[in-house]
Amino acid sequence: MAAPDTVFAPELAVSQWFNTPVPLSLAGLRGRPVFLHSFQLLCPGCVAQAIPQIRRIEQVFAGSDLQIIGLHTVFEHHAAMSPVTLQAFLHEYRLKSPVAVDLAEEGSDIPVTMQRYELQGTPSSVLIGRDGAILHQIFGVEDDIAVGARIAMALAASPSKRSHEASTDTTCADGRCATPTSSVSAQ
């Protein structure tokens, strides 16, 4: 049961995926928390701060059922940031988690998903709860401790019904925190 002011995360509109064999959707990920990060490969703040933070998030939460998704939201220098350049970028910067190219819309510089979330720019991030609600959305990069705490809180939240049978033990070891519902991740 969502709180009265719950805002559900709009679905992604994607023209191309990298780092995943099959396209993903928020609908299909319901029951798992999602960390959605929006970036552009020529955005200095993204490259210097956000992408390194994503790699740290990938490491710390590798054992949990958190789903990290990158969204390449090109709203300037479109010719300079084509998918072929993005592919080389992902290779060089060693991002492991799935990355989606936000769908371009004719007649607009702003791609579709970026419009739906009303993102102010890059880097931005959106933390989505197990129930699909937006828990937090921010333009810029937040302090690592706060990010770690937020994601852990999302992981610790009551899972949806279908994961009721999951273990309730929380385990943090070797710099990684496994969620109480990590069995969900195996489904």
Near its own copies in 57-116, by CB under 8 A: 57, 59-61, 76-77, 79-81, 84-85, 87-89, 91-93
Residues listed for the chain:
187
Q: Does 166 bind its own copies (CB under 8 A)?
A: no
Q: How many residues bind its own copies (CB under 8 A)?
A: 52
126's enclosing H/E stretch is: strand 124-128
Token duo for residue 84: 């072929």
183 touches its own copies by CB under 8 A = yes
State the minimum distance, in angstroms, from the CB of residue 1 to its own copies.
10
The per-type count for the chain, helices as H runs and strands as E runs, is 6, 8
Whole-number Å distance between alpha carbons of 157 and 180 = 9
Q: CA 178, CA 162: separation in Å to the nearest integer?
A: 18
Binding part of the chain for its own copies, among 31-39, 45-53, 95-103, 115-123 by CB under 8 A, reads 45-53
Question: Is residue 4 part of the contact set for its own copies (CB under 8 A)?
Answer: no
End-to-end CA distance of the chain: 23
Residue 22 binds its own copies, judged by CB under 8 A: no
Q: In this chain, which of 135, 141, 166, 184 binds its own copies, going by CB under 8 A?
A: 135
| Least distance between its own copies and beta carbon 25 (Å) | 25
